Amino acid sequence: MNPRFLLLTLCALALPGQTLPVRGLHLSAPRPEEMDLAERFIREALPKEGVNTLIVEFGYRYQFTRRPEVAEQDALSREDVKRLVAAARQAGVRLIPQINLLGHQSWAKTTHALLRAHPEFDETPGRYPDNEGIYCRSYCPRHPGVHAVVFDLIDELVEACEADAFHAGMDEVFLLGEDDCPRCRGAAKAELFAGEVNAIRDHLARSNRTLWIWGDRLLDGEVTGIGKWEASANGTAPALKMIPNDVVICDWHYEAAHPTASYFAIAGFQVVSSPWRKASVALRQLDLIRMARSNASPAVGARLLGMVQTTWAGFGKFAKGYFREDTTDARAMESVNCFRELFRELRNQK
């Protein structure tokens, strides 16, 4: 973990009356034409609401120079990203960039830039034309060339963002250890998942950066009764015992406040709870975090860092909804209203 962030976290935990160390928001990267709106939202809305951490999911929407073949059409320039960095610094907000790695390499019929540029990395090469019959494509974590490309993408983005942490996504990975892959077939899915987490974590550690990931693949969907989306039903859950506990876990649950953040904290991991659109769920998750911090041992309580709200509406739609400039998008307004209620509660109670 970055020493400065660790110091701030410890201070927040030690001093009575202080708010949670992480009060975060997750947004997709703005489109180039939304940059003015994005800067205004970061500078005005985030300090007003008490946000101190902003996870920006860039994906491949950045104009990479080390791997220029891996970029989407609406990619942001380095100058655009520097504008976000400056706005976050002015707002006193920690900026953490994200690229979805391993899974989520496609959506509907669209295959994303990594596998378009490097189809040889596909976990299921030649299968599922137009992505029919699958949720999202995955890349093969054992392909001998994949990490040279992925690590270049990570390095360039974290350097542009001047970030001390990186979010690798890694949620909802359903295609892993497939029989179609000559390198992964027959391998234990937990070992494959843990191996990829460890590879990314170790790479980041060389530059003193911290890895953040979503936590669903590390929960047993059958044992917990949570199911295959917010937890795993394909054998990846044992990976929790195979990865180092300096990985920060974003424990997302959208329909119910499952008490899994404490499970991760007891296992030795720093964790945040991540709601989306239901304020009632978000507030119960916050209650669980506060209750555990109050009643757990100091070691466990210190690992329950706080909250990171997700949005899933697009930066522009969310920001316009927040500013009441366009309230017509129901999906955006659900997450806006949840955000307002959650952060009102975060500000009101210490």
CA-CA-CA-CA torsion sign (199, 204, 205, 207) = positive
The per-residue pLDDT for 188 is 98
Closest CA to 170 of 243, 119, 69: 243
pLDDT tens for residues 159-203?
999 999 999 999 999 999 999 999 999 999 999 999 999 999 999
What is the extent of the structural domain holding 124?
3-348
How does residue 223 score in pLDDT terms, banded at 50, 70 and 90? very high
The per-residue pLDDT for 4 is 41
DSSP string, 148-166: HHHHHHHHHHHHHHT-SEE
The per-residue pLDDT for 9 is 43
The per-residue pLDDT for 19 is 78
CATH number at residue 94: 3.20.20.80
**Is pLDDT larger for residue 9 or for residue 98?**
98
In whole angstroms, what is the distance from residue 284 CA to residue 257 CA? 6
* Structure-token match 């209750």, residue found: 291
pLDDT tens for residues 294-318?
999 999 999 999 999 999 999 999 9
Over 90: is that where the pLDDT of 152 sits?
yes
Over 60: is that where the pLDDT of 240 sits?
yes
Over 60: is that where the pLDDT of 226 sits?
yes
Maximum Cα–Cα distance across the chain: 58
For residues 297 and 331, the answer to whether their CB atoms sit within 8 Å is: no
Sort strands 106-107 and 110-111 into parallel, antiparallel or unpaired. antiparallel
In whole angstroms, what is the distance from residue 239 CA to residue 201 CA? 14
The per-residue pLDDT for 15 is 34
Question: Token pair of 104, please?
Answer: 């989520």
In whole angstroms, what is the distance from residue 65 CA to residue 337 CA? 38
* Structure-token match 């960039």, residue found: 97
How does residue 348 score in pLDDT terms, banded at 50, 70 and 90? confident
The per-residue pLDDT for 14 is 38
Q: Residue 67 corresponds to which amino acid? A: R
How does residue 86 score in pLDDT terms, banded at 50, 70 and 90? very high
**Total domain count, the chain:** 1
How does residue 338 score in pLDDT terms, banded at 50, 70 and 90? very high
Question: Token pair of 159, please?
Answer: 């350097």
pTM score of the predicted model: 0.94
Over 50: is that where the pLDDT of 34 sits?
yes
pLDDT, the chain, mean: 94
Residues 126-148: what's their mean pLDDT?
97
- Return the DSSP state at 41: I
For residues 336 and 318, the answer to whether their CB atoms sit within 8 Å is: yes
